[in-house]
Structure 1
Amino acid sequence: MALGSNKKKVSQRLWRPDFREVSVLPDTKVIRTGFLINFVAISIALLVVTIYVIKEYSLQSLTAQVRELQSQVADNTASNRSILDTNKRFKQSSSIMEEVIAFDQQLLEFPLFIKEITLILPQRVILSEIQMKSAEGLDGETNAPYFSVDLKGRILAGSVMTPSQVLSNFQDEINKLPSMKGRQIEMDLVQFRRNNEQGYFDFTLELMIPPEKGSKS
């Protein structure tokens, strides 16, 4: 019995990998490296394309806004230029109207005044402009507006007196004019400047002439 029950045990040979043959080795990687590289490359490409599209859209939007603003500026410039031209013409017309009104009020006999000025004009003194206009303010006694006359000219070199003395004597002579009789004239030396290149003095003398006594507005 003992001999009959003695059976040979079948021994199983253990499998051992041959590391020299790479093809038969098991694939132990969870995710292939090639897949990760492709995924990262596609993500970067999509990100770059997205940034480029956003920048292009922003650039086009800004360009359109700049063009619109330039168009508005051009329209406003033309409108402002038209307004400035109108304002300039209005000021010119206003200045002319002031002279016409001042002349029409006959507060001063202008031709007679010009004649008297030329007779008392000192030597070496040249008048380049005589301008008349209505002055702001009213005379307290007559309630009539003042009359303003601007005398512009120059004092040439060569006089025995100083330019300031020449101008002072000229002012005294104006106060003595027959057309100024009985009036309290106010004189203001607006400009008195030396021209160093030519050697003469430019001056502007403003006369504030009140209306004659007894005149009413």
Structure 2
Amino acid sequence: MGLFLSIFGAFGVGGVIGVFVTQIMTNRREAANRRVAFKKQQLEQFYGPLLAAHKELRARSELRVKLQTALDDAHTEDMLRTGRERLEAASDPHISAITTNVQDENQTFREVLMPRYRQMIDTFRDKMWLAERETRPFFQQLIEFVDVWDKILADKLPRSAAVTINHTEKNLTPFYEHLEKIHDRLQSEVS
């Protein structure tokens, strides 16, 4: 009690309250800094890489459609310009380009796109601790999408099975929209 009275007397009521308030403010600032640091980590190591992978996949898919449409349009235009008697001659040069493009896109799917999907799974698995609670259920959908395509590409499952189970990238649209929403929210909170 004597020690308390001597401390209290030395600092006075205002000094003790000042030290106490300073400590509370310091603790709050440190807690806020930790929250911002965690959100930044979520952005850099989880949401940012997943969103970037999605944007790359989408850009490549849109380019594929654009190229195929251009080839098909040129083919159709040449076929319409010639008469019935010259359809085969007008079609021959386009068939080669269309076939080459399809083969190239199949190779791109196997060698570029599928590895990117697998990287998304790796990021999800390795950085799950950074995922928001509402993000975690999408992991199963991503795994299912990749596993079915891996089986199809390895000829362990017929492509018709994908149609039967409604296997399409559109099933991942809610995940992609969620990624963008969470990414943008975290980015706003960090800045």
TM over 0.5: no
User: Which of the two has greater helix per residue?
Assistant: 2
Q: What's the TM-score, normalizing by structure 2? A: 0.31
User: Which of the two has greater strand per residue?
Assistant: 1
Decide which structure has the larger Cα Rg and report it.
1
Identify the structure with bigger relative contact order (alpha carbons < 8 Å, sequence gap 6+): 2
